[in-house]
Amino acid sequence: MNSNMAGLEKAAIFLMNLENSDAAEIIKYLTPKQIQKLGVAMSSLSNVDKSDVDSVIHEFVNDVGGQTSIGIDAQAHIKDVVVGALGEDKAKSVLDRILTGADTKGLDSFKWMEPKSIAEIIKVEHPQIQAIVLSYLDADQAAEVFSHMDGQRNRSELLMRISKLESVQPNAIKELNDIMEKEVMKSASGSAKYIGGTQCAANILNHLDTSLETDIIEDIKKHDPELSQDIQDLMFVFDNLLDVDDRGIQALLREVSTESLILALKGSDTAIKEKVFNNMSKRAAELLADDLEAKGPVKVSEVEQAQKEIIEIARRMEDAGEISLGGRGEAMI
């Protein structure tokens, strides 16, 4: 066995030799970022010796060996495993990054940089390049970069470009890699890479301050009312907690501080309050109602911040597969 083989590579070899359903059962216990790293390692495997496979399996499962399935159709195998673990909707963004991992080293390097530094680098680039960079970043990091970009009009135009992004040709990826002065990595298939879109724009807006979020939406509405509505339909706001099932609300309440909950509910309508009360014990609901009544006037900004914090907790829990956030523009049947 290659003694220099990294743990990630060993894990990739091991999973590639499991049935899709078995691999999916393992992967569902990993974080999205761990899945992404593991998927990139799986897609990069080539010319793996049988002796290496046997050694890896021996290490993982105490001398149990087996035939390698590596090389049959790595991308199809990866897709089946990730979709099995996360479902179609969540798997798409992860798969896009996994299967483009071989030619996005320049983009990956942005993820280790401070948001302000990224903004400084891309501010001299064409807005379409800026949109591609922001689309590739995680929504919270993209929002921070976005807030450092100059001018509301420029930011509005940038978000509109992100919303309309569907695919990026390999030459655009090459240009981004050149920006980072990294080695140019060619796409194995030469196919377009799917990133961006209205959901990406909505995710970025969800991480912005409420005042900036509102200004951007209003500005986009002036230029493209239909696009503005599409983005808003995909955004998750505090009122959307009405669409979360009771079990999800109960799990969320266990993670939220009482003070944040009181502040958030101060700015909520009766339906949201009832949703919360109905998912607490009678005694806890009575105490919360008393606290709400006793709470004096609070700043709107404090209410908005508390609601944002709860929304962020809800998103993290959804990413971890602990709850499901209803609504968000998805049709229900």
Q: What is the pLDDT of residues 10-30, one digit of tens each?
A: 877 777 777 767 777 777 777
The residue-averaged pLDDT of 144-173 equals: 78
CA–CA dist 272, 190 (Å, integer): 49
The pLDDT, as a whole number, for residue 208 is: 76
- Judge whether 27 and 38 are in contact, CB under 8 Å: yes
Written as six digits, the tokens of 242 are 């009405």
Residue-wise DSSP of 65-101? -----TTS-HHHHHHHHHHHHH-HHHHHHHHHHHHTG
- 239 pLDDT higher than 60: yes
Q: What is the mean pLDDT of residues 193-208?
A: 71
Element (H, E) at 158: helix 152-164
Which pLDDT does position 89 carry in this prediction?
Answer: 58
Assign 3-state DSSP to the chain and report helix, strand, coil percentages, each to 5. Answer: 70, 0, 30
| Res 185: pLDDT | 34
pLDDT, residue 171, reads 65
pLDDT band per the 50, 70, 90 thresholds, residue 177 = low
- The better pLDDT of the pair 143, 187 is held by 143
* φ, ψ for residue 29, nearest 5 deg: -90, 0
d(CA 289, CA 294): 9
Tokens of 263: 């502040």
Q: What average pLDDT does this structure show over 180-208? A: 56
Q: Which of 219, 213, 203, 62 is nearest to 140 (CA)?
A: 203
H or E element, residue 122 = helix 115-122
Q: What is the pLDDT of residues 298-323, one digit of tens each?
A: 888 888 888 888 988 887 887 788 88
Calculate helix-pair angle for 152-164, 198-206, nearest 10 degrees. Answer: 140
Residue at token pair 């509910």 = 265
Mean pLDDT rounded to a whole number for the chain = 73
Q: Which two tokens stand for residue 139?
A: 């929504």
In which residue are the tokens 């990133």 written? 195
- By the 8 A CB rule, do 113 and 142 touch? no
The predicted pLDDT at position 300 comes to 86
Query: How far apart are alpha carbons 23 and 11 in whole angstroms?
Result: 11
Q: Does the pLDDT at position 331 exceed 80? A: no
pLDDT tens by residue, 51-109: 776 676 656 544 343 334 444 455 566 666 666 655 665 565 555 555 554 445 566 66
Q: Is the pLDDT of residue 182 over 50?
A: no
* DSSP characters over 6-55: -HHHHHHHHHHTS-HHHHHHHHTTS-HHHHHHHHHHHHT--S--HHHHHH
Distance CA 260, CA 271 (A): 18
Q: How many CB atoms lie within 10 A of CB 97?
A: 22
Residues paired with residue 128 on neighbouring β-strands, in sequence order = none
- Give the residues across from 168 on adjacent strands: 193
Q: Note if the pTM is more than 0.75.
A: no
- The helix/strand/coil state of 192 is coil
Confidence of residue 215 (pLDDT cuts 50, 70, 90): confident
Mean pLDDT value across residues 28-47: 70
Task: Give the residue with greater pLDDT, 270 vs 41.
Answer: 270
Nearest to 99 by CA among 158, 173, 157, 30: 173
